[in-house]
Amino acid sequence: MLKSRLYILFFLFPCIIFSQFNTTSPYSFYGIGNLHQTGLSQNIFMGGISNALNDTENLNFQNPASYSFLNLTSVELAFQLSHYNMKQSDLKKTDLFSNIIGLGIGFPLSKNASISLGFRPHSSIGYNIEYSSFQSANKLDLGEITYNFSGNGGLNKAILGAAYKFNINKGLSISTGFNLNYYFGTISRINAIEIDSTGFNNYRENLSTLVRDFQLNYGLIIDKTINDKKLSVGFVFSPESQLKSTENLYSHTYTLSGQYEYFGDTIYDNNQEQGFMQLPVSMSAGINLYKQYNWLIGCDYNYTNWDNYKLFNNSVDYIDNLHEFIIGGYFTPKFDDIHNYWSRVQYRLGFSYSSGYLNLNNFELAQSSNVGLLKDYKISFGLGMPIPKNKSQFNLGLQFGYRGSSESILIDEKYINFIFSMTFNDKWFKKRKID
């Protein structure tokens, strides 16, 4: 019965994830929005460690080569509750929202080969920005002009992955794998200008971009046994990809009378324009030293060449290359202790620093404050709590983060993510023996 329910949930998940992911960050105004963390709960609790991670009972979507190390069918559904605290000068705002952050299933086909399926959010957009100023043109007083910018949506991806492990000798293995990623989503933006003066029309434009296309990325993991420990080195490569996109742009003028809005003239109407969103090349590397089921310590480096990002062949000057550094690990006091439950719990901890991909110096509102890239700092910790008499696990953890800047009129964001998930492990394709 449990397996049947999981199958149903898995195939319904694209509808759930597409409708529920939220963000309220003004920084999502730029580019493709806020980029989401890679990996599921285990990775997040260790700061994002994933490039060399090859767990036997937990999925790792970041490096597809890791699938070949699975010895059981693994299913994970992960949720996130987020609290945001945003501050700009003397202005403050808090937000609370919940999201599904990922679903995955991976299962071994043989001793050395495995496949996986999954769904994850890639980026999200959610903002509503309004400001006013008094302006004049050609010695004509225009009065107060209000600018309103709002947006929502983002990108998601469905994942189909496969991996194979080559056993070179007793203590050395090399695993290779790939992910076929299907990106899908809609980014919607509304920009409006209202002039508080008679004789002038207001202006509004509606822009939506639909993305639907495939992309490949590749992974490699080298795992070496050294005495009673193991050393693992991993690499991930995602080539530059042009995702097919469709753009709809409609703009018009209007007037306001009390609570009523009256249509003016159509300025621009262009539907179904075909183009592409160019995702940049990314490269990642990591190294882990671990004693299986007991402890692990590792570090990762991730690089994305966002300077080459384009939308409908248009480059932007506020996007720059992203660098991310991660250190993290886990510790299990005594994983086979049948008397003390808390000795079998896996305790996870990690820290990450990301330069971000938005260059705040090029924001017009930053007033040349020289604050540089939108840096993001995170510290995470969590528990992997085994379910008694079962190979499954309940995961629970917290993540504290800070990004942005308090300089000029920029915004600093402090956030807390409460993450919890269920990991189900079982042998789904076990051959029955007949006596």
- 109-122 tens-digit pLDDT: 999 999 999 999 99
Phi and psi at residue 228, to the nearest 5°: -100, 10
CA 200, CA 205: separation in Å to the nearest integer? 17
Q: What is the pLDDT of residue 364?
A: 53
Q: What is the mean pLDDT of the chain?
A: 85
Strand-pair category, 34-35 with 113-137: antiparallel
Minimum mean pLDDT range among 164-168, 241-245, 331-335, 369-373: 369-373
CA 155, CA 159: separation in Å to the nearest integer? 13
Residue, of 105 and 130, whose pLDDT is higher: 105
Question: What pTM does this model have?
Answer: 0.87
Q: Give residue 429's pLDDT band: very low, low, confident or very high (50, 70, 90).
A: low
Residue type, 154: G
Domains of the chain: 2-426 (2.40.160.60)
Q: State pLDDT tens for residues 279-329.
A: 899 999 999 999 988 999 999 999 999 888 888 777 777 888 999 999 999
Q: State pLDDT tens for residues 55-98.
A: 998 899 999 999 999 999 999 999 999 998 888 777 788 888 88
Strand stretches in 89-201, DSSP E: 91-108, 113-137, 140-169, 172-195
Q: What is the pLDDT of residue 431?
A: 54
CB atoms within 10 A of CB 74: 29
Q: What is the pLDDT of residue 127?
A: 85
CA 70, CA 342: separation in Å to the nearest integer? 25
Provide the Cα torsion 49, 53, 58, 61; round to 10°.
70
**Residue percentage of the chain with pLDDT more than 70:** 88
